[in-house]
Amino acid sequence: MNSQPKAKDGWYAVYTYPKAEKQAYSKLQAMGAESFLPLQTVERQWSDRKRKIEVPLFPNYIFVKTTSERRFELLEIRELVRFISFEGRPVAIPEQQIAAIRQIVTQPGEIVKEVFDYKMGQKVRIDAGHLQGVEGYVVKKNGAERLVIQIEALRQSISVDLAASSLTRVP
């Protein structure tokens, strides 16, 4: 009896052609592949009007939960270019980071009302709220400080306003 262990599902970031994220997402959904395209609403100005539109939070990236065996099948989707890799191996994105991104796009952070007692660049962990357990770095912007959550595989950041009381320094 020769039974192979079932391949483990994992989240991966996939690079797409420019402005092809929504088409890739639709095709992944049609194939039954679990995927996630974080979107943000922005206001765009044209010569004759303003309009709110949804654009990808991470341009040219989409997240897919798949097995190593199915990755090749998914790359048959024309809009997908390649899985984000390190030393030739696709980099798995921890479930916690996917959950944190989902929370960020569905629930905006709290407005900072008190002064932070943290140094710029200091690593912190969120101890309360919808991003509990997520770690990031403090940066300054316009006199207010924000927590930056680094998505290592993408080398991109997202910032959210958080109350200083919900943070703990990470050594």
* Cβ(58)–Cβ(16) below 8 Å: no
Decide: 149 and 161 in contact? Cβ < 8 Å: no
- 51 vs 134 pLDDT, higher one: 51
Percent of the chain scoring above 90 in pLDDT: 31
Q: Is the pLDDT of residue 85 over 80?
A: yes
Mean pLDDT, rounded, for 111-133: 65
Residue 103 and residue 84 share a domain: no
Rounded CA separation 69/44 (Å): 41
The average pLDDT across 65-94 equals: 91
- The mean predicted confidence, pLDDT, of the chain is 79
What average pLDDT does range 59-69 have in this prediction? 93
For residues 66-85, give the mean pLDDT: 93
Structural contact between residues 159 and 107, judged by C-beta atoms closer than 8 angstroms: no
Instruction: Say if residue 22 is in the same domain as residue 75.
Output: yes
Per-residue model confidence (pLDDT) at position 12: 95
The residue with greater pLDDT, 56 or 79, is: 79
Over 70: is that where the pLDDT of 147 sits? Answer: no
Q: Domain boundary at 44, 70, 93, which?
A: 93
Tokens of 4: 């192979």
How many Cα atoms within 13 Å fall on the side-chain side of residue 47?
A: 0
With respect to residue 4, please indicate whether it lies within any of the assigned structural domains.
no
Question: Same structural domain for residues 114 and 68?
Answer: no
Please give the Cα distance from 144 to 96 (Å, whole number). Answer: 26
- The answer on 107 and 83 residing in a single domain is no
d(CA 163, CA 112): 5
pLDDT confidence tier of residue 82, bands split at 50, 70 and 90: very high
Residue 68, pLDDT > 70, answer yes
Question: Based on the number of CB atoms within 10 Å of its own CB, is 63 exposed (0-12), middle (13-18) or buried (19 or more)?
Answer: buried
Query: What range defines the domain where residue 160 resides?
Result: 96-171
On whether both 104 and 171 belong to a single domain, the answer is yes
Give pLDDT, residue 121.
76
Whether residue 123 lies inside any domain: the answer is yes
Confidence at residue 110, expressed as pLDDT on a 0 to 100 scale: 39
Q: What is the predicted pLDDT for the residue at 88?
A: 86
Query: Which residues lie closer than 8 Å to 126 by C-beta, 6 or more apart?
Result: 132, 133, 134, 135, 136, 147, 162, 166, 167
Q: Check residue 47 and report its DSSP letter.
A: S
Question: Looking at residues 30-53, what average pLDDT do you find?
Answer: 87
Same domain membership, residue 48 and residue 121: no
145 in any annotated domain: yes
Residues 68 and 24 in one domain: yes
Which residue, 93, 116, 133, sits at the end of a domain?
A: 93
The domain boundary residue, chosen from 73, 93, 113: 93
